[in-house]
Amino acid sequence: MDPMDLAEALLLAPAGLDARRLAALVAEAAGPSVELADLYLEHSRQQAFHLEEGRVRSGSHAIASGFGVRAVAGEATGFAYGEEIGNATIGEAARTASTIAGHGASGAVALTRRTAPPLYPADDPIGSLADADKVRLLERVDRAARAVDPRVDQVVATIAASHEVVVVATHDGDLVADSRPLVRLSISVVARDGEARGRGSSGGGGRGPFDLFTGNLDPESLARAAARQAVINLEAVAAPAGTMEVVLGPGWPGILLHEAIGHGLEGDFNRKGTSAFAGRLGQRVAAPGVTVVDDGTLTGRRGSLTVDDEGSPPQETVLIDDGILAAYLQDRQNGRLMGQAPTGNGRRQSFAHLPIPRMTNTFMRPGETDPEEVLASVKDGLYAVQFSGGQVDITSGKFVFAASEAYRIRDGKIAEPVRDATLIGDGPDCLTKVTMVGNDLALDLGIGTCGKCGQSVPVGVGLPTVKLSALTVGGTAG
């Protein structure tokens, strides 16, 4: 189904709205000194089932719909939102938002419907698998995890699907809709052996129907991965403390890029000059051979968007080109203020949030080195393959990410597993210490969520095996 047809049915027709009325409402927001005005309508639905202690404990369902209207004049933004979608409520909000730019008559707005090539099916994924089969899928996960080892004590799993239909109408004439499916399976396992406990987690998903859960997203494989990690962590010893060589495995450890450089390259922080990367375009921020991209155009990926939340098309943006800082991630306002084109990274959590520059799928391009060779080159270091999350101070550039599955490397070989430890580094400096890049680029399996300014959006990360010559590992052992 065409996203605009879905939008008509779910958002416009029930509220008595059409393209002509939307144009008039955007014109209300677009006062005389307003450089950018838009209206965003959203209808979202999500459903989930939760399993714990071997039983499907509950189901949940949520529906939210609403509108947000904004007017931007220079660096100033007026914004109003609400849940009651209608000509009168949006009109009042549009007038409220436009006061940021002073009062006065505005020009007419004419909307032209624009379509974008879809990166995922438009259909609501909730109905793509019978509810009874979703429940059975969770039961399969529970059985597969418990079959790995008798020490598996607790399995908690959630299967969730959501569908978001959005419409963006802009003062400069774009009327565009998107229909965004998203499915996710999250699994968390705890293993117990006497007093020792180990945790493991895994999961996967993406933008599409439940058919995604085959191949490397097969529920049994994901369950076994979580259980295996939990059992390994039973044997984990104290992580080392200090600065050492660190090898990051492929896939999810790409969270390094997200924290170390991704946030620091978002346009808002650089326009304001509050990022550690501000004013550094064209400078070396990574070792030669390191190329990092943000790509919102990957088919079916969790971080992908057919259009961003300002109606801009997504793109592949090369952030770091062979070690040189090449671009920032821009939304419309910050791009305009910096004299740069939007990069399709204007995203918002919902109608109740303003769009800001956000990452989509951020990863490092592969090199040519065999990952075995990367490990073999380390005499004493850390090999981290799974992480539980990270954070960055974009002004000082300091960032952390917390390893949830990691091993000591001794004499080029993977040795004993170590307990959870935070890794800390300096964003603008960290990637200059990349000394080897593997040929095994992998993207994460599709469960990442990024938080910024109180807004959460789904994202993807990816990394080949890489070696950093020095990174501080926050364990307790010598």
The correct pick among 83, 235, 372, 380 for binding another protein (CB under 8 A) is 83
Of residues 112 and 476, the one with the C-beta less far from another protein: 476
Shortest distance, position 152 Cβ to another protein, whole Å? 12
Of residues 89 and 343, the one with the C-beta less far from another protein: 89
| Residue 68 near residue 351 (C-beta atoms within 8 A) | yes
Q: Which ranges of 175-308 would DSSP assign to H, the alpha helix?
A: 219-234, 255-257, 267-271
Residue listed under structure tokens 């791009």? 335
Of residues 135 and 338, the one with the C-beta less far from another protein: 135
How far apart CA 300 and CA 375 sit, in angstroms, is 32
Strand pairing report for 152-170 and 36-52: antiparallel
Of residues 4 and 190, the one with the C-beta less far from another protein: 190
* Token pair recorded at residue 127: 């109905």
Can residue 416 be called a binding residue for another protein (CB under 8 A)? no
Q: Sign (positive/negative) of CA torsion 442, 222, 202, 416?
A: negative
Can residue 87 be called a binding residue for another protein (CB under 8 A)? no
The correct pick among 81, 120, 363, 383 for binding another protein (CB under 8 A) is 81
Shortest distance, position 313 Cβ to another protein, whole Å? 26
The correct pick among 30, 156, 223, 359 for binding another protein (CB under 8 A) is 156
Mapping DSSP to helix (H, G, I), strand (E, B) and coil, where does residue 336 land? helix
Can residue 407 be called a binding residue for another protein (CB under 8 A)? no
Can residue 420 be called a binding residue for another protein (CB under 8 A)? yes
Of residues 148 and 423, the one with the C-beta less far from another protein: 423
Can residue 380 be called a binding residue for another protein (CB under 8 A)? no
Of 32-40, 44-52, 141-149, 322-330, which segment contacts another protein by CB under 8 A?
44-52
Can residue 337 be called a binding residue for another protein (CB under 8 A)? no
Of residues 363 and 401, the one with the C-beta less far from another protein: 401
Of residues 112 and 391, the one with the C-beta less far from another protein: 391
Residue in 365, 199, 373 with CA at minimum distance from that of residue 288: 365
Can residue 19 be called a binding residue for another protein (CB under 8 A)? no
Query: Which 8-state DSSP code applies to residue 352?
Result: T
* Token pair recorded at residue 59: 């189901």
* Token pair recorded at residue 305: 């968007």
Can residue 97 be called a binding residue for another protein (CB under 8 A)? yes
Residue in 254, 235, 237 with CA at minimum distance from that of residue 389: 254
Strand pairing report for 174-193 and 356-357: unpaired
Of residues 59 and 288, the one with the C-beta less far from another protein: 59
The correct pick among 35, 123, 149, 153 for binding another protein (CB under 8 A) is 153
Can residue 469 be called a binding residue for another protein (CB under 8 A)? no
How far apart CA 73 and CA 77 sit, in angstroms, is 6
| Residue 367 near residue 439 (C-beta atoms within 8 A) | yes
Shortest distance, position 353 Cβ to another protein, whole Å? 9
Can residue 426 be called a binding residue for another protein (CB under 8 A)? yes
Of 80-88, 102-110, 336-344, 437-445, which segment contacts another protein by CB under 8 A?
80-88
Query: Which 8-state DSSP code applies to residue 275?
Result: S
Can residue 284 be called a binding residue for another protein (CB under 8 A)? no
Residue in 235, 265, 415 with CA at minimum distance from that of residue 330: 265
The neighbour count for residue 416, using CB atoms within 10 Å, is: 11
Residue listed under structure tokens 């501000």? 278
Can residue 449 be called a binding residue for another protein (CB under 8 A)? no
Can residue 352 be called a binding residue for another protein (CB under 8 A)? yes
**205 has which bridge partners?**
184
The correct pick among 19, 24, 64, 338 for binding another protein (CB under 8 A) is 64
Question: What phi and psi, each to the nearest 5 degrees, are found at residue 307?
Answer: -140, 150
3-state DSSP of 376-393: HCCCEEEEEEEEEEEEEC
How far apart CA 162 and CA 386 sit, in angstroms, is 26
The correct pick among 4, 12, 29, 100 for binding another protein (CB under 8 A) is 100
Residue in 333, 455, 341 with CA at minimum distance from that of residue 34: 333
The correct pick among 78, 249, 357, 446 for binding another protein (CB under 8 A) is 78
Of residues 199 and 301, the one with the C-beta less far from another protein: 199
Can residue 280 be called a binding residue for another protein (CB under 8 A)? no
Can residue 35 be called a binding residue for another protein (CB under 8 A)? no
Can residue 398 be called a binding residue for another protein (CB under 8 A)? yes
Shortest distance, position 299 Cβ to another protein, whole Å? 31
How far apart CA 26 and CA 332 sit, in angstroms, is 16
Can residue 113 be called a binding residue for another protein (CB under 8 A)? no
Shortest distance, position 75 Cβ to another protein, whole Å? 6
Ramachandran assignment for 279, one of left (phi > 0), alpha (psi -120 to 50 degrees), beta (any other): left
Shortest distance, position 102 Cβ to another protein, whole Å? 11
How far apart CA 176 and CA 168 sit, in angstroms, is 5
The correct pick among 112, 214, 216, 391 for binding another protein (CB under 8 A) is 391
